[in-house]
Amino acid sequence: MTRRFAAAALGAVVGLSVFAGCASGGDDDTAASQSLTVFAAASLTEAFSELAEDFEAANPGVEVRLSFDGSSGLVDQIASGAPADVFVSADEKNMDRAVSEHLVAGTPAVIATNDLTLITPPGNPAGITGLDSSLDGTRLVVCAEGVPCGNATVALAESAGVELRPVSEETKVTDVRGKVTSGEADAGIVYVTDATAAGDAVEKVGIRGASAHPNRYPIALLENSPSPDLGQRFVDSVTGPTGLAVLAGYGFGPP
């Protein structure tokens, strides 16, 4: 089944509402049960694309519509009324915000962990050796503070006693990776899973102490889910052994 990927920019509420009509008309056992909208952190793009395909295969007639963005931006969209059934954050801070604003039904469940790493273009032409003085004068790109990868970067830099001087701060970790793979940056700080997904397009440079600042990924059914029964089934599939195995296959750590 062809999947429609919604662009999850902050201004996408209107566009997202187009397919909301499909998910909100009728009761949960009719038209609504045939589509499911999942808002997920950008670092989950590859893993959740596979999880969505698996769920569709196990539930004939169901279409999973995925929207990827920075976790804070996704919460903004949900709070503004963008229709969605399930939310997956790249950190607990943004999920806690969703809970405090009564956007979440039930208790979120952590499904994975992730650490940060440096990436460079192949061959590491700038000679980056880690989160140290080798970054001075380089075109470093990081996630903006406020989004999960940015918050983790700040914490890691502070613990290392390093002052970072990035040339760009992005709202999605995949944009950091994109600037490195396109040659616009000498180095970027991303999740290990993003480095793995980039394959030979990047070179990974480990960061000492990164494992002390892991990001934890919680998933939750949303309070205003147009298809709550279907949404809960999706959550159950992701939190089950098969779903966790898929996440592990993309390099995520255990919850």
**C-alpha distances in Å from residue 251, one per residue of 52, 109, 132, 245:** 18, 19, 25, 10
- In the chain the domains, ranked by start, together with CATH numbers, are 5-113+216-249 (3.40.190.10), 116-212 (3.40.190.10)
Query: What SS3 class is residue 178?
Result: helix
Q: pLDDT digits over 132-165, tens only? A: 999 999 999 999 998 999 999 999 999 999 999 9
Beta-bridge mates of residue 40: 68, 88
Element at 6 (helix H, strand E) = strand 5-7
- 0.85 surpassed by pTM: no
Tokens found for residue 198 = 């980039």
Q: pLDDT digits over 153-210, tens only? A: 999 999 999 999 999 999 999 999 999 999 999 999 999 999 999 999 999 999 999 9
Q: Measure the CA–CA gap between 109 and 122, rounded to whole angstroms.
A: 37
Give the position of tokens 């208790």.
Answer: 107
Yes or no: say if 157 and 163 are a contact pair by the CB < 8 Å rule: yes
Yes or no: say if 110 and 64 are a contact pair by the CB < 8 Å rule: no
